[in-house]
Structure 1
Amino acid sequence: MTTNREAADLSLTLSEAGTGRPVLILHGGGGPATVAGLAGHISRTAHAITPVHPGWDGTHRPEWLIGIDDLALAYLDHLRDRRLDDVLVVGSSLGGWIAAEMAVRDTGGLITGLVLIDAVGVHVEGEPITDFFALDARGVAEHSWHDPDRYHVDPAGIPADELARRGANMATMRTLAGDPYMHDPELLRRLGHVRVPTLLVWGESDRIVTPAYGAAYADAFADGTLAVVPGAGHLPQIERPEATTALIDAHLHRTGTRSTATA
């Protein structure tokens, strides 16, 4: 089921499936396709809610929505409006940053667990975030995948409409996360106030944000744990889906405060 919900001039495009505990699944810069398989898996045992971030894949982004904090507040408002609680938030890359920003602002205790998958969003001394915008297609593959030859696609072979979609998505990401580049300078020190159990899932071969970056991220939470997935890069849910979903399934069941949730 796909629905639109409006708050002021913000319309959220959501895909939903399954029943049970609500799980909000937040995609990264690559768009909703990067978490589609993960959402399908989670929907077997929980209520998977997967938004398309405003500005991605042709969706409308209001002029006032110019930062990751704006998205975090919009998604918290959405949870409150629907009276959802006991929510697990799962975020990949940029989506993990949004999830972390939601958690530090969740004064109502709606979120009871977090999963950050190769998330950006913090500054770690000595572990810089690779400048994604400066990479060509081969560079993106080399930094993002454990097996870059398998996933590298020559842009010359991509249809014009798909190239346009990707370009528009990157322009939106640059607006929301380009300055300062891919992080909130205040976020790392604020994460100690987040008390919910937080699992950081990291591809061992990620060169966008390294496992050492992930370890520092995990250490900043009051209850953070890092799990490294061998044979995977920045998107372990795609390269090693079984290993990744096994970690998330365990965290989903370990952190829930009740067995069912009202949608």
Structure 2
Amino acid sequence: MNALQLEELPLAQAGDPASRVALVLHGGGGPRTVAPIVAHLGTTMHAVAPTHPGWEGTALPDSIASVSDLAAAYLADLAERGDRGVVLVGSSIGGWIALEMAQQATRVPRFEGVVGAVVVIDGVGVVVDGEPIADFFALDARGLAELAWHDPDRGYTDPATLTDQQRAMQASNGRTMARIAGAGMSDPALLGRLGALEAPTLVIWGASDRIATPAYGRALADVIPGARFAEIPAAGHLPHLENPDATWAALDPFLAGI
């Protein structure tokens, strides 16, 4: 029995449960950052967005100490549920989880057929020479907004306006992210494994992202067989929040063709 089950996690859902499943994987900012993706995909698919273990006050099992562990746990649950052809849509660290799931699915026989397609939105996780990921853990709120948003004023939240509970939750989420993603938010070996990916893949990137630059995103797409790359103008690390229309214009034709 898989130790991690989607039904036991806080779960946002949209769409017809009888439709094809889209597993939407959030990044460090938590589940609210992918809510527009869930709503959009729910018009044509069954979009399911779990809160990752350790985020938003949920328990983090001892068995999950890395992105690889979390990816394997999600894959095992999907396989046990009998889901096939699942579309993985991951934002930031969620993109890393999606890539790890996709490459594990090519190596583990019991996961064969579980992953049908991959959409990475400004994902981290790989190491690209000359394009380092910003040191997220060294950034204050203003610094994060400056790097992550095309319009930093829109993305900035003054910490003084947060409640003690909100600050505690942010700190807890950060500790979880550090535990499973590491200080560098990358796996040096991952890029070399992505050449084995078999699922159709779309890499979407905000043109103004300075957490991980568009050049980083293009390098990621270049190693995945047949992957498409779409750059979203007037958007940073979360293009589905800053420029949703352009994001859907890149996403929808890809999904229609798989």
Q: What is the aligned counterpart of 2:15 among 13, 18, 22?
A: 18
What residue in structure 1 maps to residue 229 of structure 2? 226
Aligned partners of 2:13 and 2:4: how far apart in 1? 22
Tell which deviates more after alignment, 106-115 or 199-208: 106-115
Letter in 1 for 2:122: D
Q: Aligned pair 1:161/2:170, yes or no?
A: no
Q: Aligned pair 1:8/2:3, yes or no?
A: yes
Q: Do 1:201 and 1:227's aligned partners in 2 also have CA atoms closer than 8 Å?
A: yes
Q: Do 2:121 and 2:205's aligned partners in 1 also have CA atoms closer than 8 Å?
A: yes
Q: Aligned pair 1:208/2:211, yes or no?
A: yes
Letter in 2 for 1:59: T
Q: What is the aligned counterpart of 2:141 among 137, 141, 160?
A: 137
What residue in structure 2 maps to residue 3 of structure 1? none
Q: How far is 1:159 from its partner?
A: 1.3
Q: Do 2:4 and 2:77's aligned partners in 1 also have CA atoms closer than 8 Å?
A: no
Name the SS of the counterpart of 1:88 in structure 2: strand
Residue 9 to residue 25, structure 1, CA distance change in 2 (3 Å): closer
What residue in structure 2 maps to residue 59 of structure 1? 58
Deviations 1:17-72 (A, max 9, x none): 21211100000000000001110111111000111100000111111211000110
Aligned partners of 1:170 and 1:229: how far apart in 2? 27
Q: Do 1:88 and 1:114's aligned partners in 2 also have CA atoms closer than 8 Å?
A: yes
Name the SS of the counterpart of 1:99 in structure 2: helix
Q: Aligned pair 1:109/2:108, yes or no?
A: no
Q: Aligned pair 1:253/2:256, yes or no?
A: yes
Aligned partners of 1:125 and 1:243: how far apart in 2? 29
Q: What is the aligned counterpart of 2:176 among 159, 172, 176?
A: 172
What residue in structure 2 maps to residue 148 of structure 1? 152
Tell which deviates more after alignment, 79-88 or 90-99: 79-88
Q: Do 1:203 and 1:233's aligned partners in 2 also have CA atoms closer than 8 Å?
A: yes
Q: Which consecutive unaligned segments of at least 5 residues does structure 2 have? A: 107-111
Name the SS of the counterpart of 2:78 in structure 1: helix
Q: How far is 1:12 from its partner?
A: 3.2
Aligned partners of 2:191 and 2:154: how far apart in 1? 34
Residue 40 to residue 9, structure 1, CA distance change in 2 (3 Å): closer
Aligned partners of 1:96 and 1:149: how far apart in 2? 25
Specify which structure has the higher proportion of strand. Answer: 1
Q: Do 2:4 and 2:74's aligned partners in 1 also have CA atoms closer than 8 Å?
A: no
Question: Identity over the aligned pairs, expressed in percent?
Answer: 51
Letter in 1 for 2:221: A
Aligned partners of 2:165 and 2:151: how far apart in 1? 27
Tell which deviates more after alignment, 199-208 or 107-116: 107-116
Q: Do 1:196 and 1:223's aligned partners in 2 also have CA atoms closer than 8 Å?
A: no
Letter in 2 for 1:208: I
Q: Give aligned pairs, total.
A: 249
Alpha-carbon RMSD: 1.3
Q: What is the aligned counterpart of 1:217 among 212, 217, 220?
A: 220
Q: Do 1:94 and 1:119's aligned partners in 2 also have CA atoms closer than 8 Å?
A: yes
Taking structure 2 as the reference length, what is the TM-score of the superposition? 0.93
What residue in structure 1 maps to residue 109 of structure 2? none
